[in-house]
Structure 1
């Protein structure tokens, strides 16, 4: 019964299959690009060393900002 339906509506079956293939390919490609970017960023941070970079907030929530300069200090 399913084969009969697929053979009877070949164009619809082809377009459905094409849509599924394009959808899966785009999800896999997006995940690969995201993972590559994550690894690249982690490698760059790793080159700095584990005690080189200290990131501090400029001001805490509920407090006014003071004129202390940048929020990140390299050491």
Structure 2
């Protein structure tokens, strides 16, 4: 039973987009590894940007720095 945990920030985290992620990840495991979709678990965690870091910076600072480069 594959278990996949996807962590995303809240931008565009609509129920429709989450459903697409669940479907897409499940199909990827079916296509690449031959896994049974009925026993494939996909969990999506929405992480607030203040709780997410990248490159040693909070994600909002990282994004500002990247956009001004």
TM-score strictly above 0.5: no
TM-score calculated relative to the size of structure 1 = 0.28
Structure showing greater relative contact order (alpha-carbon pairs closer than 8 Å, 6 or more residues apart): 2
Choose 1 or 2 for highest CA Rg: 1
Structure having the higher strand fraction is 2
Structure having the higher helix fraction is 1
